[in-house]
Chains A and B, each alone.
Chain A
């Protein structure tokens, strides 16, 4: 028994999402999806958990606040300046610096986190990818046992696949 790859293409994301739901219900092999656009339908069908990028943003925000505190308090003590009789550590303007750095660091961490978690930049093209999946077609590549291939193919066809290709897997 050898594993093979079945690549199907769809014209519509609803059909693609339906095929994904079928696949998940039948629990045959694992699969990859290709989509030219971000599609909520496909996202729901895949049923992935919420992205952990939020925690990365939180870390960025907290480190931004700490950096802001370090800069404001540090420079104040480095250069003691009595301004208008106000206390040395005057919090209201510090809040602004901390807030801005929180936003800046949170944004940068979030951006880098998205890149990291989604594996960008990709060094090689994912197996099964086809140029049309970047234009106007949705694709699913299923890796499964050869014995299951016929079942998977009929599942794809019933969901409305336009084209189904079998490929060997090294």
Chain B
């Protein structure tokens, strides 16, 4: 070899990527702002009308969903470091971290639940004597608040190191097998382990406690695996959208990269359904009424049964069949559609986990809940814009990455 590829990489890594235009012009921010405003009005009017339960249900479902996407993305970035993934260069890491600002939004919105506690937590109005030591208002908000706060702080400490020059140089050095920088090697496992702990706690406290007599040990794992998958689909969808918007020769036009996103979406969809089944079979075998009612209400009874089937189709059946072939994974239209439908499915799944516990006989979804969801989406999009600009910058910088080396 006449040229020294290692030095060439270092030089390119040292050169700061040029500024790119913002991915989202002011239109998006204005629209997102309007979405938030309309949602806040809908929420307030529902409280005034006396439809507080409906408003707080939507609030909780969307909080769980969007917090899951934001946190799952940071964990995906940490997981890429832990597995030393270089198939997308630094773009991959920026993409996972792009949604993170919503973590702080979600942290503050979580305390909003305090004002709706009697509408959503059955044990606030009808305390269960044996569980009162765990299920009481001060302890719940203290432990979950601390959990979410620590999680967000750790995530941002991790992101700051990850966006630094050392970590960036590592992600685009294709020719050596060094480990990532030391601080990454401390923070990435920390974020991953905290994610498992905190989101298990969140799932027990904010979902399982809505049906306070029900219990399933595996539920926490199932819950955060779903959140992780929703982040992967959000990343794949973002990649497909940016692919069309960033002009020629951006990283996402590389079919190998699209293939890798397809593989991630495929693999963790199967993982999700594995956890569904692992949980289902134990409850099915045991056949204890105190365990089975949670599933029976959702899977066998109207009006929830079709929604549960839809979740299974959107999160597992469609991704599994549509993304089975290599060619389909590389087609942005197919990957994008599957990822978009997957996000809808994951939102629906959170809805089916939460709402039947509170409103068993009728689906309360209407204009109020729709507008509140829209407001959360708006807040999520606005908080993701700066991160997405970094993604755009990395994706168009033409830096080297793992799969391009061979």
Q: Which residues of A contact B (CB under 8 A)?
A: 40, 84-86, 92-93, 95-96
Contact A96 B281 (CB under 8 A): yes
Whole-angstrom distance between the alpha carbons of A40 and B405 in the complex?
12
B174 to chain A, nearest CB (A): 15
Contacting residues, chain B, for A95 (C-beta < 8 A): 277
Partner of A84, one of B277, B287, B406: B287
Interface residues on chain B, number (Cβ under 8 Å): 7
Contacting residues, chain B, for A93 (C-beta < 8 A): 281, 285
Whole-angstrom distance between the alpha carbons of A84 and B287 in the complex?
8
Q: Which residues of B contact A (CB under 8 A)?
A: 277, 280-281, 284-285, 287, 406
Output the nearest chain A residue to B277 by Cβ-Cβ distance.
A95
Partner of B406, one of A40, A85, A86, A96: A40
Contacts A/B (CB < 8 Å), 13 sampled: A40-B406, A84-B287, A85-B287, A86-B287, A92-B277, A92-B280, A92-B281, A92-B284, A92-B285, A93-B281, A93-B285, A95-B277, A96-B281
Name, among A40, A85, A86, A92, the residue most crowded by chain B CB atoms within 10 Å (CB to CB).
A92
A97 to chain B, nearest CB (A): 12
11 further A-B pairs in the complex, CB-CB below 8 A; given A92-B277, A96-B281:
A40-B406, A84-B287, A85-B287, A86-B287, A92-B280, A92-B281, A92-B284, A92-B285, A93-B281, A93-B285, A95-B277
Contacting residues, chain B, for A85 (C-beta < 8 A): 287
Contacting residues, chain A, for B277 (C-beta < 8 A): 92, 95
A87 to chain B, nearest CB (A): 12
A16 to chain B, nearest CB (A): 16
Contacting residues, chain A, for B285 (C-beta < 8 A): 92-93
Contacting residues, chain A, for B281 (C-beta < 8 A): 92-93, 96
B216 to chain A, nearest CB (A): 16
Q: Which 9 A-B pairs have the closest CB atoms?
A: A92-B281, A92-B284, A84-B287, A40-B406, A92-B280, A93-B281, A96-B281, A95-B277, A86-B287
